[in-house]
Amino acid sequence: MIRRLLIVNRGEIALRVVRAARELGIVSIVAHSEADTDTLAVRQADEAICIGPAQAAKSYLNIPAVLDAASNCQADAVHPGYGFLSESADFARSVKEAGLTFVGPDADIIARMGDKASARQTAMAAGVPVVPGSPRAVESLEQAQAVAEDVGYPLLIKAAAGGGGRGIRVAEDSEMLAQQLPQAQAEAQAAFGDGSVYLERFIARARHIEVQVLGDGQRAVHFFERECSLQRRRQKIFEEAPSPVLDTPTRQRLCESAVALAEHVGYLGAGTLEYLFDEQTGEFFFIEMNTRIQVEHPVTEMVTGVDLVRAMITLAGGEPLRITQDAITLNGWAVEMRINAEDPDRDFFPSLGTVKGLTWPTGPGVRVDSGLYDGYKMPPFYDSLVAKLIVWDASREQALVRAGRALDEFRLEGFTTTASLHRRLIEDVDVKAGAFDTGFLERWLASPASGVDLGNAKPQPDIAKGAINE
Amino acid sequence: MTTQQIQAPFPGVFYRQASPDDPVYVKEGQQVNPGDVIGLIEVMKQFVELKAEAAGTLKSFTAENESVLEAGDVIATLEVSE
CATH classification at residue B41: 2.40.50.100
Least confident of A57-66, A72-81, A291-300, A461-470: A461-470
According to DSSP, the residues that pair with A242 across neighbouring strands are none
Q: What is the DSSP letter of B23?
A: P
pLDDT at B37: 96
- Contacts B46 to A, Cβ<8 Å: 349-350, 463-467
Q: Which domain holds residue B37?
A: 2-80
Measured between beta carbons, which residues in chain A are less than 8 angstroms from residue B43? 350, 352, 380
Pairwise pLDDT comparison (A152 vs A441), residue with the higher score: A441
pLDDT digits (tens, 9 = 90+) for A335-381: 999 999 999 999 999 999 999 999 999 999 999 999 999 999 999 99
Is the pLDDT assigned to residue A455 strictly greater than 80? no
**Is pLDDT above 90 for A165?**
no
Q: How does residue A163 score in pLDDT terms, banded at 50, 70 and 90?
A: low
Question: Which of B14, B43, B45 to mutate against chain A (most A CBs within 10 Å)?
Answer: B45
B24-74 confidence digits (pLDDT tens): 999 999 999 999 999 999 999 889 999 999 999 999 999 999 998 998 999
pLDDT over 60 (residue A187): yes
* Cβ <8 Å between A352 and B40: no
How buried is A248 (Cβ within 10 angstroms: 0-12 exposed, 13-18 middle, 19+ buried)? exposed
Q: Across the interface, do A464 and B66 touch by the CB < 8 Å criterion?
A: no
Which range among A186-190, B25-29, B76-80 shows the weakest confidence by mean pLDDT?
A186-190
How far lies A35's CA from each of A378, A381, B55, in Å?
9, 8, 36
* pLDDT score of A454: 66
How many A×B Cβ pairs under 8 Å? 57
Which residue of B13, B47, B51 is in closest CB contact with A463? B47
Let me know if A50 is exposed, middle or buried by CB neighbors in 10 A (0-12, 13-18, 19+): middle
Q: Do A469 and B45 touch (CB under 8 A)?
A: yes
Contacts of B12 in chain A (CB under 8 A): 380-381
Q: Do A468 and B68 touch (CB under 8 A)?
A: no
Place A196 in a pLDDT band, splitting at 50, 70 and 90.
confident
Cβ separation A383–B45 shorter than 8 A? yes
Q: Which is nearest to A369 in space by CA: A386, A350, A352? A: A386
Whole-number mean pLDDT of chain A? Answer: 93
| 8 Å CB contact of B43 and A352 | yes
CB-based contact A460 B48, cutoff 8 Å: yes
Q: Which residue type, as a one-letter code, is found at position B57?
A: T
pTM comes to 0.91
**Contact residues of B toward A, CB < 8 A:** 10-13, 40, 42-49, 51, 66, 68
Q: Which fold has domain A141-201?
A: Dna Ligase; domain 1 (3.30.1490)
Q: Please list every residue in chain B whose beta carbon sits closer than 8 Å to the beta carbon of residue A54.
A: 13, 68
Distance from CA of B45 to the nearest CA of A (A): 5
Number of H helices, E strands in chain B: 0, 8
CA distance B43 to A18: 27
Identify whether the C-beta of residue A139 lies closer than 8 Å to the C-beta of residue A150: no
User: Is A382–B44 a contact, with Cβ atoms under 8 angstroms apart?
Assistant: yes
CATH 3.40.50.20 segments of chain A:
4-103
Residues in chain B: 82
Q: Are B44 and A382 in contact (CB under 8 A)?
A: yes
Which listed residue (A4, A232, A251, A292) is catalytic?
A292
Measured from the Cβ of residue A114, the count of other Cβ atoms closer than 10 Å reads 16
Nearest partner of A437 among A210, A208, A235, A282, judged by Cα: A208
Q: Which of A348, A336, A425 is nearest to A384 (CA)?
A: A348
pLDDT at A458: 44
**How does pLDDT run across A228-272, given as a tens digit for each residue?**
999 998 899 999 999 999 999 999 999 999 999 999 999 999 999
Residues of chain B in contact with residue A465, where contact means CB-CB under 8 angstroms, are 45-47
Query: Do A35 and A379 touch, CB atoms closer than 8 A?
Result: yes
* Distance (Å) of CA B18 to CA A350, B27, B78: 20, 14, 21
What's the order of all strands across the beta sheet hosting B2-7? B2-7, B74-80, B56-61, B31-32
- In chain A the first and final C-alpha atoms are separated, in Å, by 30
Nearest-by-CA chain A residue for B51: A462
Q: So what's the pLDDT on residue A449?
A: 82
Classified by CATH at the fold level, domain A206-456 comes out as D-amino Acid Aminotransferase; Chain A, domain 1 (3.30.470)
A22 is catalytic: no
Q: Say whether B70 sits in a helix, a strand or coil.
A: coil
Task: Answer whether B10 sits within 8 Å of A380, measured CB to CB.
Answer: yes
Is pLDDT above 50 for A460? Answer: no
Of A77 and A190, the one with more pLDDT: A77
Please give the backbone phi and psi of residue B34, each rounded to the nearest 5 degrees, phi first: -55, 135
Cross-strand partners of A336: A239, A390
Taking CA–CA distances from A458, the nearest residue in chain B reads: B48
* Of B72, B82, B81, nearest in space to B6 by CA: B72
Interface of A with B (CB under 8 A): 53-55, 341-342, 349-350, 352, 380-384, 460, 462-469
Q: What's the confidence (pLDDT) of residue A465?
A: 33
Q: How far apart are CA A376 and CA A374, in angstroms?
A: 6
In CATH, what is the architecture of A4-103?
A: 3-Layer(aba) Sandwich (3.40)
Chain A hits for B44, CB-CB cut-off 8 Å, are: 341-342, 350, 352, 380-384, 467
Residue of A235, A343, A351, A352 to mutate, interface with B, max B Cβ within 10 Å? A352
pLDDT computed for residue A160 by the predictor: 79
- Residue numbers in B near A416 (CB within 8 A): none
Name the CA dihedral angle for A90, A96, A100, A103, rounded to a multiple of 10 degrees. 70
